[in-house]
Amino acid sequence: MSMESMRGKSAIVGMATAGIGEAPGFSAMELLGQAAVKAVADAGLKMQDIDGVFAATSSHAFPTMSVVEYLGLRPRFFDGTNVGGSSFEMHLLQATLALEAGLCDAALICYGSNQRTAGGRLVSMSEPQWHETPYKPRHPITAYGLATSRHMAEFGTTREDLAEVALAARGWANLNPEAFARGPLSKDEVMSARMISDPLTKSDCCLVTDGAAACVLVRADRAKDLPGKPVYFMGAGGANYHRSIVAMPDLTTTAAAESGPRAMEMAGVSQKDIDVVMLYDAFTINTILFLEDLGFCPKGEGGRFVQDGRIAPGGELAVNTNGGGLSCVHPGMYGLFLIAEAVAQIRGEAGERQKDDCTVALCHGNGGTLSSQCTAILGSEAAL
Amino acid sequence: MKDTDVSQLGPQAAYEAYLADGRFMIQRAASTGEYMFWPKVTSPSGATDLEWVKAKGTGTVYAITVNRARSGAYNIALIELDEGVRMMSTLPAVETAEIGARVRARIEDAEEGPRVVFDLVGEDAA
């Protein structure tokens, strides 16, 4: 199978979220279960039709086993690839491969977390790195603070530039009734937020929320027979060089510089074709790094690129239209919520924040400490 | 200087044994000349003839952040050693430092055991 031959071969036919924000009284698996039930119904299928399961969570050592048991499934194919927040963009690729190979006919990708109500802190099974431990890093923010310090030193990126990212995210969140952090936010408030790990303040950090999401994919030929508007898989690619930030070759260039071109080549699109850009914004620097690495602006120019509301509502480029991890939802691993927003935009169901004629959306997942980078491109029928 | 016997130890344990004896040692591949940090059983190019060599102990601040916890602030830095490899460390004597500042290693006895830390040197120490 050639890379190009995967383009358009599968489609998301069901998508749902559950418990975005705060969901007191529900476990991570219960929220995941709610999202899965809604996604399968959205696809016009029955739960027992699901014969492929793809999952990664922050709280299950064996996520596919737990999901299979909870939902009462007997899948023919399953894959629990865990590359942190980027897992779900990779799952789109794995699911398409499995569907196209006939290893399964209906694939469920799912995630759930109750980290906000369970403790209000990031839940992670990430193990410490022995060569880092003596220096007491507080990951993930330590790693992102280090990367930000380097970007500022090399390219003159400023805290004001980071603030622009946070303000744009809030601007979009204010158009999204589901977003957790809504309301006015001024540049002064952002700039005077408490410093947590220089140069990153509380305003530069994503939310800690609950939330679950799930989507269902089938082969494209079958998608036409289902009730909803299919959102086609156009391409995806991953790249990964390191686990620990110590081993990241260049702190100002992520592996997105390789995953992006891989995904775009498979999808047969370039930056100008992309209507909505969904970037994993665990911290404000992420948005800047990924805009550069994915080719929306030259390396080092990301800070200047985001100035004057360019990625805010009404700006030149629609970035993180749900409000992002910064202002919409971030339940530990956010990757599947990027996909949820891309699907909403391509289906034309994004309400006040809807981008006109959205036919192609890019979802860029980030896992670990700028480690795993997975890019996926989705499109409407018109994009094929 | 003690003669540390690391012949029966894996790379992590060997590094830590050297450190316990007051020695900051890093690996180098004899065939390719590649230096490595952190210690492993194979080099990035695949060389396995790794030997332990004394680190020069000099380097440059590559990136730095200050963790501001309620219990106090401390910095965490990535140091590019002059051998060309990078390690996580800290500069205990200062709040923070400029990226590109020159530093020199010393071994500090921390609560959890010995660790390599860095101090500013030359004009950067002023």
pLDDT at residue A298, rounded to an integer: 98
pLDDT at residue A129, rounded to an integer: 96
B64 forms bridges with which residues in the sheet? B77
pLDDT at residue B126, rounded to an integer: 65
**C-beta separation of A328 from A334 below 8 A:** no
Domain A138-193+235-379 has CATH 3.90.79.10: no
Q: Predicted ipTM?
A: 0.96
**The pLDDT of residue B1 is above 60:** no
> Backbone phi, then psi, for B117, in 5-degree steps?
-125, 175
Counting residues of chain B whose pLDDT is more than 70, the rounded percentage is 98
pLDDT at residue A1, rounded to an integer: 62
A18 forms bridges with which residues in the sheet? A212
DSSP symbol at B38: S
pLDDT at residue B9, rounded to an integer: 97
Q: Do B99 and A200 touch (CB under 8 A)?
A: no
**Residue ranges in chain A modelled with pLDDT below 50:** none
pLDDT at residue B2, rounded to an integer: 65
pLDDT at residue A120, rounded to an integer: 76
Q: Which one of B70, B76, B111, B116 would you mutate to disrupt binding with A, by most A Cβ within 10 Å of its Cβ? A: B76
Token pair belonging to A90:
């990779």
For residues B46 and A148, what is the distance between their CA atoms, to the nearest angstrom?
A: 32
For residues A103 and A93, what is the distance between their CA atoms, to the nearest angstrom?
A: 14
pLDDT at residue A179, rounded to an integer: 98
B78 to chain A, any CB pair closer than 8 A? The answer is: yes
The Cβ of residue A68 has, within 10 Å, a number of other Cβ atoms equal to: 18
CATH tag, A4-119+209-230: 3.40.47.10
Q: Which domains are delineated in chain B?
A: 11-54 (no CATH), 58-125 (2.40.50)
Smallest Cβ–Cβ distance between A142 and the set B67, B100, B112 belongs to B67
pLDDT at residue A228, rounded to an integer: 93
For residues B99 and A361, what is the distance between their CA atoms, to the nearest angstrom?
A: 37
Residue with tokens 């790990």, as numbered in its chain: A197
**The pLDDT of residue B124 is above 80:** no
Do domains A4-119+209-230 and A138-193+235-379 share one topology? The answer is yes
Model confidence pLDDT, tens digit, residues A16-27: 999 999 999 999
Model confidence pLDDT, tens digit, residues B64-98: 999 998 899 999 999 999 999 999 999 999 999 99
Where in chain A are the domains?
A: 4-119+209-230, 138-193+235-379
Cα distance between the two ends of chain A: 18
Residue with tokens 């399964």, as numbered in its chain: A104
pLDDT at residue B123, rounded to an integer: 76
Query: Which residues on A lie below 8 Å from B107 (Cβ)?
Result: none
